[in-house]
Structure 1
Amino acid sequence: MINMKKRVIKMVDMKLFGNINKKGFVRINENKIILDILKEDAMGMASERKLEIVQIGGPLGQFVAGEQLTKQLVDYLDNMDMATVMFLNDNFCPVDFTKFLLQYVKREMGISNEDLEILSNLIEELSSGKTRKYTYEELLREVREVTANTIVTKVKRNIKYLMDRYEGVFLQHFESKKCAAGICNRLFSAQCVNACPAEINIPGYIALMYQGKDEEAYRLMRQNNPLSLICGKICARPCESRCRRGEIEQTVGVRALKHYAATITLNKDEFIEKKLPKNGKKIGIIGAGPAGLSAAYYLAKTGYEVDIYEKYPVVGGMLAVGVPSYRLAQASIDREVKLIENLGVSIYTNTEVGKDITFEEFKEKYDSMVLATGCHLPNIFSDHISNLESAIDFLREVKLYDRKKVGKKVVVIGGGDVAMDAARTALRLGAEKVDLVSLESYLQMPANDEEKEETQKEGIEFHNGFGTKYIHEDENIAQGITLKKCMELYDLNNRFNPIYDEDDTVDLQCDHIILAIGQRSDISYLESAVQVDVKGRIQFGKKQDTSLEGVYVAGDIGGPGSAIKAIAEGKKAAENIDRYLGGKGLFIGDEIEVPVFQSHYSIWDTESKTEQVELFTEGCGHAFEENRTVLSETKVRSEALRCMRCDRNSKQ
């Protein structure tokens, strides 16, 4: 008889910490997998943020991410210096963590080593923006060097892991001097500036506005954003999400101040901008959206002759045909487009490249080109159902062609800003009931918080954490929809890969379904002139350059994003074209002196002044008029005072 010795399952005491809901000491079965420890013992990630990476065993412990999260705790016990598990969310900065790791080893563990000093100096350069030409390559070489010191070996192992997994983040610090997580604060003057894709000098223009210099403030905005009035009305305000005042109380109303300065300045009808003399070079731009308009603005100021071709009868791209009029009227768009035309930019509407003019003919006319045609093709399913349509087609017909028809019971599927716009527009057209279905939880929805709150306040019901199971139809007409519960939205590598509980369902009645589930680019006009990837998207390099010499991309055509992101990419495309054509850099206007005044202590007693938004109510006679008021001058000066001048007080 064989004596089979049964393995004893051990319980181990561990300390859990990081961005989790429940921190502290717990006793855990050593066979438990890391993900179950997060779900059952740590009670999930705080604020429903995505898990990014785990470190087991203290500061020198092993990093765990992706498929490794399904391994058992016992797999790591032998290599642990401390009985800890740390869970970090997707706001994790690997460069800053590397800096912390090196400082911890040197200061807290008292390790003095030449290798550590070299690594520390290189990471210091990356995190402070004081890099040299070969800083990144030197760092790579150093972490690959073998050392006899056991602790330094662990340090290098961890840094190499982070550099391999987050190469793009390390390169962003090196090449763009930017920290997406907003942690490496010496790379930027203030958190709000770093959070803004266009890196507008926000504290600067607020300081000017406090002194009543609204036109100078508007000029300062336009050095990085020629569509500041438009953004003053509809920007998603990433800057405000990182405002230090918001960590204490209500954030500074950055967008509201921009809205005021732009409105006051343009109301004078006297705004004139300088530009350089013509240099004899011609630039062609396809698409008059925010990216194309931005590129045209900076190129025209720098002396280039610029033509824009736009297939729609209006200018503004998705701003003009997708953003509802109650958020942004065409008249508001046209005010800043006129300023761009005043610089000599010619805009040809109702002119579609690939139809009215071939791409080859277009290319022959110009020294360089920008492709900025955005994402106007919808993703859609069940295209045989007659009362199912895409949100972008629906919004375009309402704004561009004054469509009035909508169902009585409308279901909108999607969780982004486009879904919010479609739902609120359906309500304004007379829908009696609008339900919004989103795979994401409320906190995970990509729509900005303001849009979500206003959508709910207008009476639209959210069904979060559900996807479509099937549509009930009769003769190709939808009568209702069955939803299924979404259990997981992303896989272990944070790739979109939803998992459903097919038995947990909800039924909704409907006579109209609107899909807001993403868009893609129509690049058929390029006639295979540039290389595309396996998914049919344009391939482009770090300088936004395509396989066709002198042809660059900007905006949503390179990947969906916000209006301010498209504006920033338009400026970068202009910079790359100027460099390609041998220019000496973009001309953004005369230097504007930012006031350097002492912030008064009364800043702490100043209450926030917010814009008023008129929400939709049934029977109102102005459902599609712009619904956001401009602050009064008194409120503007008071709100500008609330800025804590992080550009002066947070610099190291």
Structure 2
Amino acid sequence: MFHIDTMEGHQRMSTQDLLLKIEEAVTGGETDFEITGSGQHDIGGPLWHPEGKTLHFHVTNPGQRVGSMCLDNTEIVVDGPAPADVGWLNAGGKITVRGDAGDTAGHCSSGGKIYIGGRAGARTGSLMKHDPLYEEPEMWILKNVGSFSFEFMGGGRVVVCGWDSSQFASVLGERACVGMVGGLIYVRGEVPALPDDILCLDLEDEDRAFLAGGMGDFLDSVGKPELAAELSDWSEWKKLRPLTFAEKKPQPQPNLADFRMTGWVRGGIFSDVAMDDFAVVPTVNKGLYRLRVPSWDNGKYASPCEFNCPSGIPTQRRFDLLREGKEEEALQLVLQYTPFPGSVCGTLCPNPCMEGCTRGSIDEAIQIGALGAKSAQTKVEPPKEHTDKSIGIIGGGVAGLSAAWQLALRGHSVTVYDEGEKIGGKIEQVIPRSRIPHELLEKELQRIQDMGVKFVTGCHVDHEKFEKLRSAHNALIVATGGTKSRFFPWEGLENLTMGLDFLKKVNAGEHPKVGRHVVVIGAGNSGMDVASDAYEMGAEKVTLVDVQRPAAFQKEIHRILDLGGSIVWPFVTSKITPEGIYAKDGRFIEADQVIVSIGEAPETQKFLPDDPKIKRFREDWLVPSEEKMIMPGVFAAGDVVKPGRLTDAIGDGLRTAHCVDRFVRGEAITPVVEKKVIPMERLSRAYFEKCHHCDLPENPEEDHNRCVSCGTCRDCRMCLNSCPEKAITRNALPDGTWEYVSDPDKCIGCGICAGVCPCGIWGLVDNPEPIPMYRTYGREEMRKCRAQ
């Protein structure tokens, strides 16, 4: 016997600690428990022995829910009374209370036996039920029960002996058996008026056999075996059961409007707060009473390719245009976002758009980069209307040219000033010619000039020149990028070659000398460019070192490895000598030239005023406001704000141009609102896997069938043809586009349109239309209304 006393001095054990202790003991093999309780709940269930042995509990002074959810092979004996919920959800245990039980004894029980040796409280036996796959539950009660007993009972057998209950007008209390639909109740003693659908019958042989077979065990369990003869006079017993469905007579359907107005509460039960129209709302509704309504969310969300593109190019719209046969429009569309579709999108960009492409989770991503290259030769007509606003841009790199392009499209006069002899920034001056055809860059630069943008090269901007440019233009953009190589204060700095200077000399055709064995500090994309140019200039062996895993694109890493280069990491540089480079751990790599390429930093102090209002990060990078402004009328874009990829610079230039345009027009500057990416669960990838699984076409323009068109309607008309109520119509718009509209007078809010839409255009939302039924009283009016 495992004894647990829940009081130690004046310290009471919590219910949680008691149950955990019991569970631990059962797990350890204990089967017999003596529990001296002090009001703890849930004693005795649900538990099972690891070997299937029967668990015995002898309990005194329990709390609520003794034996709740009790399982088979559990026996509980309570000496004395027990509070509410004895055997709540009993699923197989035998529970004996040798005294009175509180309210809701046997509530929802579905198995096992509950013996009560006294009285039971209100709502005893409510919601009892019987699963035909298991033995039916039983509950035996020596005396009587409280009101509302056996509400909504659906199965099982209950025995109410009525002993020592002659003083009560009813041994079942008031309003017994309301809503009872199944099971049997055997009762001895006075029975109240019962609902019309409950029959009170004499016992049959099967009933007498059941009572006789169980009475002895019940009385022995509750300690009253001497009452066997008195309680076995079956002529004193009745059986209660509900009418079966077949026995019930069909009832005439009342007029609900009349009942609510006159039969229930005068004016309606909610008449003090609501102007009830007394209409009976059916299960399926149209119009105002729909719970949910469809929403055609065309273009509300960004597709994954658009969301992952720092330039914000909506590629899904390009493929939609190609699907409609509008090839020229599709090629033109990308030029609304970037002036470099060929040199960046189609050549140098790692295409994060393709990494996020939904189609990539089915077979292979859409050919987005290759489609960008197709727009390289596309011409764009200059705007027909021009403003009188002039914008100057300091820096002829990708960010500055992206801003210049956007502002020229808006009709402004734009001039780009650059210190180099040629415009183009890193693409022209730094990135190896082996990575991009130079003639491609020249054609795209010419297209920018054809748009009306003026290029001023060889322009050194100092403090004086900056103030002159600021006076000459309505707004200035600082986009000078990173112009000095970064490095750490290593020993032997005099032996370093700066990577940025080296790359510029190579692209300028100066053929800088290199050593036979070259070490490049930094294995990012810039480091790979340095290594490539070192081989181009005659190096025999190039080794790249880095403190972390190389951050360069995989294709750039493979390119250097194919040339014979090697990468060493982690390698923490400590010293550079004429003979090579040392790591902090003592490793040495022989080299007759060490080139550092761990990034670049801006040098805006050379021309920006020494103004504490100009915010900076680490004294180098500019920190503009949300309006992209660093000082009145002066904006910043690109790597002077944050180092990034070429596509990041394009996107930042676009956003900066948006702010500048509003500034020079005298409008409030609001940042570009970026869409949220479409939730994947809205897309039907299975539809495209089934219908459009095909070989990758050679021509990227022909890849439109594979595009999921995430978040953008592809006009497939599946919703139109699937709506069961014919509530959806397709409207052609004057600009050649279309829209789908749901008629609220026909729509039932079933959601089939959202279910069949492969592109995630249709969604279901809670019906936002208010129902004008609630009164708006003042406090005094409310008081008068309630008084009526």
TM range (shorter): 0.5 to 0.7
- The 5 A counterparts of 1:495-574 are 502=585, 505-523=586-604, 524-528=606-610, 531-533=614-616, 535-537=618-620, 538-546=622-630, 548-574=631-657
Amino acid at match of 2:485: P
1:601, 1:517 → 2: CA distance?
Answer: 47
Is 1:447 aligned with 2:552?
yes
Gaps of 5+ in 2: 1-297, 671-686, 713-758, 764-788
1:281: how far off? 1.2
Task: Give, as a single letter, the amino acid of the residue that structure 1 aligns with 2:487.
Answer: I
Relative distance call for 1:324 and 1:215 in structure 2 (3 A) is: farther
Deviations 1:527-586 (A, max 9, x none): 32562436223231111111x211100110101111111111111111111211236799
More helix by share: 1
| C-alpha distance after superposition, 1:20-76 (max 9, x if no partner) | xxxxxxxxxxxxxxxxxxxxxxxxxxxxxxxxxxxxxxxxxxxxxxxxxxxxxxxxx
Query: Which letter does structure 2 place at the counterpart of 1:227?
Result: F
Contact 2:334-2:375 within 8 A present in 1 as well: no
Show the 5 A alignment for 1:120-159: none
1:402 to 504, 510, 519: 510
| Alignment deviations for residues 568-607 of structure 1 (CA, whole Å, 9 cap, x no partner) | 1111111111211236799xxxxxxxxxxx9795631324
Distance between the aligned counterparts of 1:316 and 1:539, measured in 2?
24
> What is the TM-score normalised by the length of structure 2?
0.47
Q: What are the within-5 Å matches in structure 2 for residues 55-454 of structure 1?
A: 188-209=301-322, 213-231=326-344, 232-259=346-373, 261-263=374-376, 265-266=377-378, 271-354=379-462, 358-381=465-488, 382=490, 387-441=495-549, 445-454=550-559
* 1:578 aligned residue (644, 661, 671): 661
Q: Provide the rounded CA distance (Å) in 2 between the counterparts of 1:322 and 1:536.
A: 24
| Separation of aligned partners in 1, 2:413 and 2:437 | 29
Shift of 1:349: 0.5
- Contact 1:420 / 1:455 at 8 angstroms: preserved in 2? yes
- Asked whether the equivalents of residues 299 and 711 of structure 2 are also in contact (C-alpha less than 8 Å), the reply is no
In the TM superposition, what is the alpha-carbon distance from 1:302 to its structure 2 partner? 1.3
Given residue 240 of structure 1, which amino acid in structure 2 is its aligned partner? Answer: M
Aligned equivalent of 2:699, options 594, 619, 635: 635
In structure 2, the residue matched to 1:460 is 565
Counterparts in 2 of 1:251 and 1:312: CA distance versus 1, 3 Å: same
Q: Which runs of 4+ in 1 moved over 6 A?
A: none
Structure 2 Cα separation of the partners of residues 460 and 247 of structure 1: 34
Q: Report the TM-score when normalising by structure 1.
A: 0.57
User: Given that residues 276 and 302 in structure 1 are in contact (C-alpha distance below 8 angstroms), is that contact kept between their aligned partners in structure 2?
Assistant: no
Summarize the Cα distance change of 1:246–1:458 in structure 2 as closer, same or farther, 3 Å threshold: farther
Task: Mark the structure with the bigger radius of gyration.
Answer: 2
Q: Secondary structure at the match of 1:340?
A: helix
SS of the residue corresponding to residue 222 of structure 1 reads: helix
Q: CA RMSD in A?
A: 2.8
Paired positions, count: 398
Q: Is the 8 A contact 2:383 2:409 kept in 1?
A: yes
Change (3 A) 1:390 1:404: closer
Q: Give how far 1:383 is off.
A: 8.5
| CA distance in structure 2 between the aligned counterparts of 1:212 and 1:383, rounded to whole angstroms | 63
Identity %: 29
The whole-number CA distance in structure 1 between the counterparts of 2:312 and 2:342 is 16
Q: Which amino acid aligns with 1:245?
A: R
SS at match of 1:307: strand
Matched residue of 1:285: which SS? strand
Change beyond 3 A, Cα 1:189–1:430? same
Change (3 A) 1:534 1:456: closer
Amino acid paired to 1:244: T
- The higher-RCO structure (CA 8 Å, 6+ apart) is 1
SS of equivalent residue, structure 1 residue 251: coil
